[in-house]
Structure 1
Amino acid sequence: MLKWLSEVFWQDYLWFPEGHGWADLEDGQVYAKPQDLWVAVPIAIMFLIVRQVFERFVATPLASFLGVKETVRQPVTHNRTLESHYCNTAKKLTQSSVEELCKQTGWSERQIQRWFRRRRNQDRPNVLKKFREACWRFAFYLLAFIGGLYALIDKPWLYELEEMWKGFPKLELLPSQYWYYMLELGFYTSLLFSVASDVKRKDFTEQIIHHVATITLVSFSWCVNYLRAGTLIMLVHDSADYLLELAKMFNYARWKNACNYIFILFAAIFIVTRLIIFPFRIMYCTLVYPMTLYTPFFIYYLFNGLMMVLQCLHIFWAALILRMAFKFLTSNWSVEDERSDKDETDESGEEDGEMKNGEIKKNGPMKNGHATYNNNHSKTE
């Protein structure tokens, strides 16, 4: 059964245009082989080990130099009832749940609100952890961009994109292409391995989709010898990512001006590369131009379908970037990562009974040291 499935999966008509097949890649020249992709697994493990060393001996001292410190958070008093509600019911409070917890614990509303705020803060990663992650990704993306540019700077398909199909599928594998592919694939695989321990942001689902789509796209482009297109796609993505991580590093260090200027530069490069070059140049040469040369085949549809998934994510992230840039340019605010949760303080509005979207909100005066509530639950921003 497995042998039959393997034979069906590797049929020539699925992977190559009409008139071509795997036999084309067996003439003694060096071509990309599907089994080569297993090299990415030990490389991913190597990245996980190197990351631990890098964060400890490079990122942590750099954070100290830039003034990034561990966040000191107020510990919570152990309370079995509140802990059970927090873990099993909800981390955010509603008015009815506060009243019920008051009866069960004998605590005041303010004490319960403060306990939940501090308990939520304990689950949030501190600034130093965020800085180390950003520093690691900045180092890789910068080196990957420099390495990719070095590997492609003398290649004709960097300037004339139609050249990516010249001689296809018999495109000889270059050493620079091999290592560029394996290192990129290994890095994104390591990100997928470490997703459970990394900072979980609001676009967590989109990040998972992006990693899976990227790994699948890189893997299939390798198998079908889309090497030239694949290296161009990776270079386009690496061209802006290191600037975002650098901006986040300065943001965590509270270097406001440096963060803002780098973020604006990142936003400009992101818009140009992801919303202009990627869809109108690279996707044109993978989706439209091949139709003039070959009859469409299965991997052609799969490859371009994944490209469209990436483009949808580009549009989603571009909307977030433009919203942050608009706030900065119109109100002179510092740039903040809207995907991250911020620590809650004991003096914030929710502590005094403020409610948004069904949570507690103070609508009346104080009585006996506590907020009184009326039946008006209109929302305030």
Structure 2
Amino acid sequence: MLSRLSEWFWNERLWFPEGLGWADLEDRDGLTYAKVSDLWMALPIALVFLIVRQIFERTVAIRLATALGVKEKIRVRAEHNPTLESYFSSTAKSPTQSEITSLGKKTGHSERQIHRWFRRRRNEERPNQLKKFREASWRFTFYLLAFIAGLAALIDKPWLYKMEEMWTGFPMMTLLPSQYWYYMIELGFYIALLFSVASDVKRKDFKEQVLHHVATILLISFSWCVNYIRAGTLIMLVHDASDYLLESAKMFNYAGWRKTCNYIFIIFAVIFIITRLIILPFWILHCTWVYPVTVYPPFFGYYFFNGLLFVLLCLHIFWAVLILHMAIKFLPGNNIVEDERSDREETDSEGEEEEAGEKDRRAPVKNGPVQNGHLPLNNNHHRKTE
């Protein structure tokens, strides 16, 4: 059964145009071609990345955080309460109003005390600023070095300037050492990211991140196996062009350098849109979707490769919406850019204001402090809006 499945999967009619196959990628006359067995090298590289990351985050990232002035907020811990802790762990982290009333009867606490306890307990499980900074600094370092290395590997290649050249001589395109290491290092890094995503800071786009990592790993692996290496290097370079800017903006945001964060984010947004929503679909996808059929009849590998690219493009559109939503915060009066994918830490003052607002909305309208459903502008409100 497995042998038949393997034979069907590696059928060259699936992955190559008619008349071409695996025999065309065998080494000969001193020329080297990409091989499926080469992909095993990415696994030890991924392991090395996991180890180096731990060392980096505990040494370099910590010192960098200190130099930039990353400060941790002092969190008030929730007092020990077995009843509330049991409910928090097994039932829900954000109980409804009726459940809060029930818990108040069991514990003898007021609703405000119950609200405050759950806020503080949720904050305990949220990642702190230092953890976020360490993760961002690690990704920033890799993406920056990967972009520089990719640019150095492609700067003298003709397919960087004329993308139709990526198909010249396909599939008999020899493998260069720079291409080999660029591929293996990128693949190893994304495998390491997939392994560590469960322990990293959880964001609202967690599922999209996992899908992105899986699609990227499949895309890199597949393009290597069927010698789409020239197209693959271009795609990786386009993706690395903006990622390090986003991570650096996060680093400065966690350090409290708001203006620097905002300026970098503007540059990131522009480069992201240019590379992911213009260059990728209108240049690279055009040369992988439209141009090949003028040379070879369509085949399964052609559809599979472009299908993965379209998955990435859809994810880019999803993230572009988030980026544009964040860009709204640059309007007058908004001077902080936060990651829309992250949960914001709750404060006791916020919760008390929300509870007071709920009580005011439930209260009957009378002549006095609350008129027509609006609160008067007191001194505290003035300080918040100044």
- Provide the residue aligned with 1:36 in structure 2: 38
Residues 364 and 46 (structure 1), Cα distance of their counterparts in 2 relative to 1, 3 Å cut = same
Task: List per-residue Cα deviations over 1:99-155 (Å, max 9, x = no partner).
Answer: 111111111111111110000001100000000000000000000000000000000
- Provide the residue aligned with 1:13 in structure 2: 13
Count of aligned residue pairs for this structure pair: 362
Structure 1: distance between partners of 2:346 and 2:126: 10
Structure 1: distance between partners of 2:254 and 2:204: 18
Task: List per-residue Cα deviations over 1:209-248 (Å, max 9, x = no partner).
Answer: 1000000100000001000000000000000000000000
Is the contact between residue 236 and residue 274 of structure 1 (CA under 8 Å) also seen in structure 2? yes
Which of the numbers 158, 161, 181 marks the counterpart of 1:159? 161
Report whether the alignment pairs 1:177 with 2:175: no
Structure 1: distance between partners of 2:168 and 2:360: 69
> RMSD across aligned C-alpha pairs, in angstroms?
1.5
2:127 match: secondary structure: coil
Structure 2: distance between partners of 1:361 and 1:169: 71
Residues 4 and 324 (structure 1), Cα distance of their counterparts in 2 relative to 1, 3 Å cut = same
Deviation at 1:361, TM superposition (A): 6.5
Is the contact between residue 157 and residue 228 of structure 1 (CA under 8 Å) also seen in structure 2? yes
TM superposition outliers: structure 1 runs of 4+ over 6 Å: none
1:171-250 correspondence to structure 2 within 5 Å: 171-250=173-252
Report whether the alignment pairs 1:286 with 2:288: yes
2:33 match: secondary structure: coil
Structure 2: distance between partners of 1:105 and 1:299: 63
1:71-220 correspondence to structure 2 within 5 Å: 71-220=73-222
Counterpart residue identity of residue 119, structure 1: R
Is the contact between residue 110 and residue 351 of structure 1 (CA under 8 Å) also seen in structure 2? no
Which shows bigger deviation, 71-80 or 241-250? Answer: 71-80
Gaps of 5+ in 2: 365-386
Structure 2: distance between partners of 1:323 and 1:33: 43
2:336 match: secondary structure: coil
Q: Report % sequence identity.
A: 70
- Provide the residue aligned with 1:274 in structure 2: 276
Deviation at 1:315, TM superposition (A): 0.5
1:321-360 correspondence to structure 2 within 5 Å: 321-349=323-351, 352-353=354-355
Deviation at 1:9, TM superposition (A): 0.9
TM-score, normalised to structure 1, is: 0.92
Structure 2: distance between partners of 1:198 and 1:256: 24
Residues 352 and 320 (structure 1), Cα distance of their counterparts in 2 relative to 1, 3 Å cut = closer
Structure 1: distance between partners of 2:331 and 2:274: 19
Gaps of 5+ in 1: 367-381
Counterpart residue identity of residue 284, structure 2: I
Task: List per-residue Cα deviations over 1:293-335 (Å, max 9, x = no partner).
Answer: 1111111111111100100010011111111112213444221
